[in-house]
Chains A and B, each alone.
Chain A
């Protein structure tokens, strides 16, 4: 997904670090098919979600040369356009696709701008704005991560019932986490947790987003164009 950005920017002190919050056997075919040149890590226990308080994928954050977060975790170029899909034909209206492409381009351009300009990029947030944009966890989220970790461990040990009970409790404690729900849910023949239960959960969002929109301004004068 990020190969073109990586190819273009890797000689500008930039790298992509991709992390699959997934089981290795499920992630393997995707990685082998795309064969990216950047590191692709496997996070089978969703450790990153616990560490950075993440609830969905694709989520990205920008880390500068000193290891500082200059853009906290946010939706990485995706939109809620899929919610306009015809659920029988899977067709998405052209206007929705166009808007989806516009948002994705905007986000990729912002990453490119940061890679080329570093701290002078308009997309780099100063400490105050970055801190204000951080999503911090609360106690029930911390317990949800502990239970999810236990559930994934028990699943590997062959204790399917106990595993499901722990993961169900984790999901109850942390209903905003799509990562927990989809990892634990039954998958279709394409490996997707996209059955009626998924759509019911999406519909239950109402006006709330599945992918939180990102506040990135267009840059008509961008060096990236």
Chain B
């Protein structure tokens, strides 16, 4: 069983394969784990498609599976894993974070309250939001 963490997603894949720094997932798992859809033209989300580099097909492709960790690193995004528990984190790169912030459109998120009810930032459109962090520590 392999666990994949990406943004706030946490998914588990009994049939996925991992060897060393390689994480092999099929199209269904990629979409569920990351929100990106694997199409002939590359990995796509909304209007954006990231083409798979042809020169790297040997490294990236194998019988209906994609080495997502390798593609992730090629895009300058962090990939870390714990070998013992087979847990992988597909992080978001600094360039991607910076580009999102630089638009000044507040990056959206949904987080639970103590009762488990989700609150989404974008559902407060039409009001001024004073977004404030705190902690007990």
Contact = CB atoms under 8 A, between A and B. Distances in A.
B34 to A, nearest CB: 14
Given A15-B124, A15-B130, A191-B136, 20 more contacts: A17-B130, A18-B132, A20-B136, A45-B8, A47-B8, A57-B134, A63-B128, A65-B127, A67-B108, A76-B132, A146-B79, A146-B89, A146-B91, A147-B80, A150-B5, A153-B3, A153-B87, A154-B85, A182-B135, A183-B135
A62 interface: yes
Contacts of A72: 101
Nearest to A157: B85
A103 interface: no
B129 interface: yes
A28 B114 contact: yes
Interface stretch (B18-26, B48-56, B92-100): B92-100
Nearest to B112: A42
Interface residues of B, number: 52
A59 B132 contact: yes
Q: In terms of DSSP, what is the predominant structure of the interface of chain A?
A: mixed
Contact of A150 (B81, B108, B131, B137): B81
Contact of B135 (A5, A53, A149, A179): A179
Q: In terms of DSSP, what is the predominant structure of the interface of chain B?
A: mixed
24 contacts: A15-B127, A17-B132, A19-B134, A20-B133, A20-B134, A22-B135, A27-B135, A27-B136, A28-B114, A47-B109, A58-B132, A61-B106, A63-B128, A63-B131, A66-B125, A67-B108, A130-B104, A134-B104, A137-B98, A142-B78, A145-B91, A147-B80, A154-B87, A182-B135
Nearest to B96: A142
Interface centre among B77, B91, B107, B124 (most CB of A within 10 A): B91
B128 A166 contact: no
